[in-house]
Structure 1
């Protein structure tokens, strides 16, 4: 065990409960904790034993709630209470770290009762609250019923951190994402001019139309937006999710890695998503939309580039496709900065200074 790990967690056991296992974030975080010598256990919330006849019971509960209160919201958790209790009793954590959210799998009040009974700290790594913005009733439920059960909240968003702390009075700290070390190096002669990986929304469609002749798009939900897209842009879409080695190969084979923050995040003036850190980890040249949070963490124009409008996006894409040396220099500095401050192992060391003693 490293001296830092021993001093920060004091040999305590950490249980990571992954509420967003469709993406590898919590698994990568778990690997980083292990590499730092922390006694960490990983559990996928999706793999909890489901309640019997869950779909029928959830539908019935939803109907009853609507009759009782048309504006209210409650959620029947997918996992059996007994399954979560067994998990906690088997792992005996000193700290239970929920990644993403709890309420879709486990009732927050059950976690709070177990916390009191078993005497562990309950911490949330908020990675997804902005995705609830468009689902108002669930977002209110998350704020009112789930967040108060935590001893401490770490949020990927500085804006959300301020809201949780100043408006809701919750113990919240800002904790930006990191990424795993992506092996390999960028191609000397990339096949992809501009790579965008992500699901579709209107803002993304409108921006990508400005560079439709040079962009390659990978992601889901693009079919839903086909009526809004030009024939040329439709031809640039590969409608598939990519993760892991496939994603890493694409990042290495691209001259420009484009990030476009989802509309809900952008409206809240937040949005340092995982793609930013993955692009830097791969040694790629990152072009992303501007937000103040980004400026506070990186040297813009030095370690990565930004745009504030569709015209600026098109201009910078054209400029950096013409200037290989400048693009590669920025990419190299961005990768150096990532290796110093934003690997998951570096983020884990920061985490260990933020958990309750």
Structure 2
């Protein structure tokens, strides 16, 4: 099958990158058009801010997006794909979706919807819902990593909505188990308020934590412990040499979806220590494949406990988590479900 993938960036570690690799591994021919791939960081940040503002999401356009639109239409005319897979879709207006739909089916994978539907009844939510309802007229399938959002999309009028969680990419994240590991806790990711608060407290307790982030650091305490951000294979290798991989969901994800690290950390061959949510329990068994925490005091207690054990004592849990991730939670599994949900037979 010929698939045109539209997104923000195919940089290693992004959802777009993982989808592309998985689809090609499944035998599909994939072309990607991502608006940020050839932009400087400053230009990218400026455009992303414009695209992700509420006003952009109710249909405003930019000159940059008009240029991107022409590139999309030229590719559709020349290449004639069987479907156009859109990741997130913050860059697409109703007009662009209508034009794309004249050429092929459109599945949309929306990663961030929960953040925009948390406060019901607000003016912004009404505007977003109206814009989304209009967009759904041209979307054949909408997929979401949040099971709760399936019902929301259905109420908004989606033709078909399915739950497709994030996953791991074995080619990037799988690393064989090590016989030796550093007695360290590793956190890699953006420093949202909840994460910053928790990490500050861990540092105050003088725990052996390594923090990798690209976020701007306002705290002098945190600044001494922070290292440059890591993605892709380096993300997996650094987790592999650490005893514990710490996962802290951002506030708006807690009850909505399991984030990417929920699957990437176990695949890398280290112990996943993550916030205890019902969402996470859908994918892994606590105390057998991963470990969870409810309160900050419990987090401290479990870090101390697992660092005090020998690696042999926790190796079976790490191995179980890795096996589960590779066996059931890869992007290959997710893309097969997406294609099957569209009911389009692969060429």
Pairwise same-fold verdict (TM > 0.5): yes
Could you tell me how far 1:47 is from its partner in structure 2?
Answer: 5.1
Q: Which residue of 2 aligns with 1:282?
A: 268
- 8 Å CA contact 1:20–1:99 kept in 2: the answer is no
Conserved? CA contact 2:133–2:157, under 8 Å: no
1:199–1:222 contact (8 Å) kept in structure 2: no
| Distance verdict in 2 for CA 1:98–1:48, change over 3 Å | farther
Residue of 174, 183, 189 corresponding to 1:198: 189
3-state SS of 1:210 partner: helix
Deviation at 1:186, TM superposition (A): 4.1
Are the counterparts in 2 of residues 48 and 83 from structure 1 also a CA contact under 8 Å?
no
Q: CA deviation at 1:155?
A: 0.4
The answer to whether residue 28 in structure 2 is matched with residue 35 in structure 1 is no
2:36 aligned counterpart, secondary structure? helix
Q: Which runs of 4+ in 1 moved over 6 A?
A: 55-60
Match of 2:284 among 298, 321, 326: 298
Shift of 1:246: 2.1
Choose the corresponding residue for 2:241, options 244, 249, 253.
Answer: 253
Cα RMSD for the two superposed structures? 3.4
Structure 1, residues 160-197: CA drift from partner, whole Å, max 9, x if none? 223222x3232210001112113533443323510001
2:185 is equivalent to residue 189 of structure 1: no
CA 1:188/1:131 → structure 2, altered by over 3 Å: closer, same or farther?
Answer: farther
Are residues 169 and 198 of structure 1, via their aligned partners in 2, closer, same or farther at CA, if it must alter by over 3 Å?
same
Mapping of residues 333-352 of structure 1, within 5 Å: 333-352=320-339
In 2: Cα distance, 1:35 partner to 1:57 partner? 32
Compared CA separation, residues 349 and 74, structure 1 to 2 (3 A): closer
Which whole-Å CA distance do the structure 2 matches of 1:146 and 1:96 have between them? 15
Unmatched segments (≥5 aa) in structure 1: 1-11, 50-54
Secondary structure of the 2:168 match is coil
| 1:178 maps onto 2:167 in alignment | yes
Query: Secondary structure in 1 aligned to 2:202?
Result: coil
Residue 155 to residue 291, structure 1, CA distance change in 2 (3 Å): same
3-state DSSP class of the match of 1:350? helix
After superposition, the C-alpha distances for 1:225-270 in whole angstroms (9 at most, x for unaligned) are 31xx7x3x442212x221123212211111000010012222xx12
Distance in 2 (alpha carbons) for counterparts of 1:94 and 1:287? 41
Question: SS where residue 353 of structure 1 aligns?
Answer: helix
TM-score (norm 2): 0.82
Inter-partner Cα distance in structure 1 for 2:143 and 2:273? 26
SS in 2 for 1:161: helix
SS in 2 for 1:286: strand
Unaligned runs of 5+ in 2: 40-44
- The question of whether the paired residues in 2 share the 8 Å contact of 1:41 and 1:91 is answered with no
**Residue pair 1:157, 1:271 contacting (<8 A) in 2 also:** yes
CA contact (8 A) 1:219 1:242 kept: yes
2:157 and 2:313 mapped to 1: Cα distance? 46
- Aligned mates of 2:134, 2:100 — CA distance in 1: 16
